[in-house]
Amino acid sequence: MKYVLIGNSAAAVGCIEGIRQQDKNGEIVVVADEPYHTYSRPAISYLLCGRTTEERMKYRPSDFYKKMDCTVMLGKKATKIEPQKKWLFLEDGTIIEYDKLLVATGSRPFIPEIGGLAEVRKRHTFMSLDDAKALDAALKADSRVLIMGAGLIGLKCAEGIAHKAGRIDVVDLAPGILPSILEAEAARAVQEHIESQGIHFHLSDGVQEFRDNTALLSSGKEIGFDILVVAVGVRPNVELVQKAGVEVRKGIVTNERCETSLPDIYAAGDCTESYDITTGESRPLALLPNAYMQGECAGINMAGGIKAYNKAIPMNAIGFFGLHMITAGSYNGERFIRKSGRDYKMLVSENGVLKGFVMIGNVARAGIYTALIRDKTPLETIDYGLISEKPQLMAFSRKERDKKLGGAAG
């Protein structure tokens, strides 16, 4: 059996490890357009601020491919899939035959259509190691940096370059920061913390036009800058499989085995849609844990095993300037909120089950809440009052505690 993987990030690593759980001898070929060993993309901001190195950013050890007996073709771009003949074409003319194919092509930055944007000379994005290196090379101690986007990517960029720039301004159309994962009260608390580090926000506002090194905002403000970072969102890389005839909506459509609409072609990671069990909707979930679990599921099934991935939830574990937070699920339902100093917690329940949560500051044992969401545990079967105040196993029945601690067959 010959397995070919397009991509080299978390989904591909999960797939390799999934294949090797089932098939120790099959041929695995990894094709990736980046020239680097697999690395953790969320760590690029820590590279800029000196909290990590390229070596420590590696998602798996340097000998990973060798131990997994993989042929790796880095710096090679896939350009076409011929599903009838099971051929993958590369940009340099190479043709690779496959028995099973994984598409893990990830996502790319979304670049909005704004007048004058194309003429901005020092314009950057912030998703890859090359992006981080290019931005680092452009920065000077007195650089004025304008970041478009107050989401996860934009704010991690601000954190990474805070000590390297003279001034950082962040613009976003939303009324609060991190609009996809925080409600208003929590967003204000995190914004105040980030502002204390010298970051300047311009919210409920947007860039209407660029004139040389000046951004003209909807509010009438004008912001001068030396360097622009565009971080307003991402788009799944679906064009390769779309041209091959694979079904695509907002992302590549897969079933719970991570199979696409074409035989022997699987997909995983940011380029796909996932079924969010907290909302009942299928949509792209550009999250590293989700990508890895999808990839592992795909690998097991590609190699003849049986695995379903059907418990996807949006989840983020992240921190800014020492303030940590974990968010998961959706926020439609009854809310339980507790605040104490910098610590903030919101639990959201609906129809007798936990649907989502936000924890800021003290994030200890958040995994208990995540398990409640994934397992759709009826709240009537636990001491919800106790677990709301503090996540702990004592809120579960003795039988459930034994199962979670491995003391009983589950």
The 10s digit of each residue's pLDDT in 256-266 is 999 999 999 99
Is residue 136's pLDDT more than 70?
A: yes
Mean pLDDT of 64-75: 98
Whether the CB-CB separation of 363 and 342 falls below 8 Å is answered with no
> Which helix or strand (DSSP H or E) is residue 300 part of?
helix 288-302
**pLDDT of 15:** 98
Q: How far, in Å, are 129, 290, 315, 397 from residue 389 at the CA level? A: 40, 28, 21, 17
Encoding tokens for residue 267?
């997909």
CA distances (Å), origin 103, targets 139, 236, 376: 35, 12, 30
- Residue 287 CA to its chain's centroid (Å): 3
pLDDT value at 408 more than 50: no
What is the band of 381 on the pLDDT scale with cuts at 50, 70, 90? confident
For domain 2-108+235-302, give the CATH number. 3.50.50.60
Contact assessment for residue 309 and residue 256, using Cβ atoms and an 8 Å cutoff: yes
pLDDT tens for residues 27-62?
A: 999 999 999 999 999 999 999 999 999 999 999 999
Higher per-residue pLDDT: 402 or 242: 242
Residue-wise pLDDT tens digits, 299-337: 999 999 999 999 899 999 999 999 999 999 999 999 999
CATH class of 322-404: alpha beta
Give the model confidence (pLDDT) of 89-121 as tens digits.
999 999 999 999 999 999 999 999 999 999 999
> Which residues contact residue 42 at a Cβ distance below 8 angstroms, ignoring those fewer than 6 apart?
156, 288, 318
The domain locations on the chain are 2-108+235-302, 117-232, 322-404
What pLDDT is attached to residue 296?
Answer: 98
* pLDDT tens per residue across span 209-265: 999 899 999 999 999 999 999 999 999 999 999 999 999 999 999 999 999 999 999
Q: Is 142 exposed, middle or buried (0-12, 13-18, 19+ CB in 10 A)?
A: exposed
* pLDDT score recorded for residue 349: 95
- The pair of structure tokens assigned to 333 is 């339902």
8-state DSSP, 77: -
Question: For all residues of the chain together, what is the average pLDDT?
Answer: 94
The tokens of 115 are what?
Answer: 């007048």
Pair 147, 170: CB distance under 8 Å = yes
SS3 assignment, position 258: coil
pLDDT of residue 409: 43
What pLDDT score does 347 carry?
95
Map tokens 């934009």 to a residue.
154
Domain 117-232 belongs in CATH node 3.30.750.24: no
pLDDT computed for residue 393 by the predictor: 57
- What is the average per-residue pLDDT within 291-296? 97
Q: Average pLDDT for residues 128-152, to the nearest whole number?
A: 97
Share of the chain above pLDDT 90, in %: 88
Note whether 2-108+235-302 and 117-232 share their fold.
yes
Between CA 171 and CA 201 the distance in angstroms is: 6
